[in-house]
Amino acid sequence: MNQQQTIFDRDFENSVVPRRRDLMPKWLTVYMWIVIAFGIIMLCYAAWQTPTFSTNDTMANDPQYSASYRSGAQKGAFIPGILFLLMGGLVWLERKRAIRFNLGIAIFWIVWITLMALISGVKALFLGIFLPIFIPYWIGLFKIQRRWEKEAVRGNIRF
């Protein structure tokens, strides 16, 4: 009796599925590393700017300078660095929804800037100073989104 060893034909075993990182052009890969480095720099800057202060100081009862206000502001200084690090890190780790995460950050950022400009005026547009830097990154990711999510696979993690 002549029985097949596998139900798949030879073409199935020889087919090569592309890695997600291989879908990115070289300029987008460089941009991804710049975004990751920018996130690390922002985190280091936020950590360096975090002052040590006593909760028993004379201005602790003043709402503008109270310890809770200062600690909240210090924690908030880490948020942009974390988001930038995630924007590049998820793409580097080849997560399936990394491009959608980046698109969500872009939409949130634009809505946030618009709301702050409507509430606070033109001076709030300073929040969007880094936005034009990320537009080519988002456009490059958006162009490969369908192939990233449908056709490509995640590779082995090598650290």
Question: In this predicted model, what pLDDT tens digit does every residue of 44-73 receive, in sequence order?
Answer: 988 887 665 555 666 656 666 666 666 777
Contact 152, 22 (CB under 8 A): yes
Domain ranges of the chain: 19-150
> Is the four-CA dihedral 22, 27, 30, 32 of positive or negative sign?
negative
- Asked if the model's pLDDT at residue 156 lies above 50, the reply is yes
Contact 46, 81 (CB under 8 A): yes
- Asked if the model's pLDDT at residue 159 lies above 50, the reply is no
